[in-house]
Structures are given as structure tokens and as C-alpha cells.
Amino acid sequence: MAHSYILLDRDGTLIRHIPYLSNSNLVELLPNVVAGLKYLESLNFKFGIITNQSVIGRGLATREQVENVNQRVLQLLEKENLHISFILYCPHAPFESCDCRKPSPELGNLAILKHDIDINTSYMIGDANSDIVFGKSIGLHTIQITDLPYQTSLAEYATIDLLKSAEYIHSQIRKG
């Protein structure tokens, strides 16, 4: 049976965006992340993270450092009894022209197959246009987290945080 998922970008969506983050001690959940994820969990969504981590390809961090940051995100969420099913990341810099860097659909297609994701009932939530293009390319509904939700967005919906995203998703489910 296929599952409804929320695919999430990491930096600027779940945690405070720090350019080229390599120190797991600096990981800080954004406001309303826990409340938003708990709300979505109550709607029977599962969670996965798909993130570009060019910090590796640029030589500014090792895979181990990025994985430590990812583990810190998981630890902070697990303290709140929230479970992330998977984290997939592209380690390449933009100039490396790989197939796995968002907005390329490769990691999304992999997640759909491996985790039996129902694209009709699942969402991609991210802060960058590349997240939204990525979500659309794999057939998901899209929500953009932005400080300027009233600006034009490529996403179906734009809002300020994960709690507002969850409220929107619930309203869409009620519409049927």
C-alpha cells in the first residue's frame, strides 16, 4: 500500500539556514517545525528529507560532517517523538552537473520507489525554487516556506512555516 509523505528540504525548512553548515552543534530547529510535523503526523503523513549538500562538493565539509548534521536533526526531532523515514542528499557542487541535485528528480524518484510514496497524496515542502521545481517534477503537491508568502511563488501554496503548511494541507484534505 502506498503511503502519504511529506518530503522536506532541510536548511531553511526544518533548520535555521546557515550557509555551508558543517558543524552539528549549530543545528537549530525553526519555529513551529515540531508543531507542524506533529499536526501532519496526526493526518497520517510520513516524513523524508531530500537536501542538496554542495558543502561536500565544494570541499568545505566531509560526508561525515554532513551526516553528523543530519543525525543532529534526527535527534532533535526524535526528542519530540517525531520520526523521519529517510534522508537523501546530493553531495555535489552545482558545477559538477550531477543527476541527483535538486531540481533533478533522481532522488525523488528513488524515494518514491523505495518508500512506496503515493504521489497523489504527498507534498514537497521547501524554501527554494529548486525544491518546488523538484516536487513538481516528481508529481507532488508543493509548498514553499518563505518570509514573503505574498510574493509570487512557483508552489501551489506559500507560507511562513511548517505549522501553516500543515494547516493548509489539512484544508486541502477536507476539501477532498
Q: Is the backbone peptide bond immediately before 103 cis, with ω within 30 degrees of 0?
A: yes
Given 11, 127, 131, 161, which residue is catalytic? 11
- Any catalytic annotation for residue 99? no
CA distances from 10 to 24, 74, 133, 171, 175 (A): 13, 11, 16, 24, 29
Pairing of strands 141-145, 5-8: unpaired
Instruction: Please identify which of the residues 9, 127, 131, 161 carries the catalytic annotation.
Output: 9
Taking a C-beta distance cutoff of 8 angstroms, is the pair 104, 138 a contact? no
Q: Residue 12, SS3?
A: coil
Q: Active site includes 11?
A: yes
Active site residues: 9, 11
